[in-house]
Amino acid sequence: MCIVIGVFFSVFSFSQVGIGTVAPSSAAVLHLKTANIGIVKYGGFLLPVVTEAQQVLIPVNDSDDGLMVFVKDISTGKWCLDIYDAKQKVWRSIQCA
C-alpha cells in the first residue's frame, strides 16, 4: 500500500518551486519573487561566492552546463560572475568588475 501511494504521488507531483509566490511559473524550476513592504519591492538573488581555489574543486560534469557562481578572490583579484561551459569543459567569466 505504501509503495502504491509513493508511486502515485511521484507521477503526479510537479517540480516547480516558488519562493515568495504561491503560483510558480510552469516554465521555471525555481521562481523567485521580490517581497513587498507597502509600495517598495526589494530582494535579490545571491549566488554562491567562492574563491578560485574553491571553484576548481566544484565537481562539474556535462549536466552542469550553465552552472553559475560568483568568484571573489582577494589573493588573485578576480571578482567575476562565472558560468560553466560543459561543451568546452571550462568556466567562463561573463561579467567582471
Tens digit of each residue's pLDDT (9 = 90 or more) over 47-56: 999 999 999 9
Give the dihedral of Cα atoms 12, 13, 18, 22; nearest 10 deg: 50
Cell of 72: 571573489
> Out of 7-16, 38-47, 48-57, which region has the weakest mean confidence (pLDDT)?
7-16
List pLDDT tens digits, range 53-87.
Answer: 999 999 999 999 999 999 999 999 999 999 999 99
Nearest Cα to 59, choosing from 32, 81, 96, 84? 84
Work out the pLDDT band at 8, boundaries 50, 70, 90.
very low
Please state whether the predicted TM-score (pTM) of the whole model is above 0.75: no
Neighbours of 87 (CB within 10 A): 8
* Secondary structure (DSSP) of 19-76: ES-SS--TT-SEEE--EEETTEEE----PPEE-HHHHHTS---GGGTT-EEEEEETTT
Domain regions of the chain by residue span: 2-41, 49-96
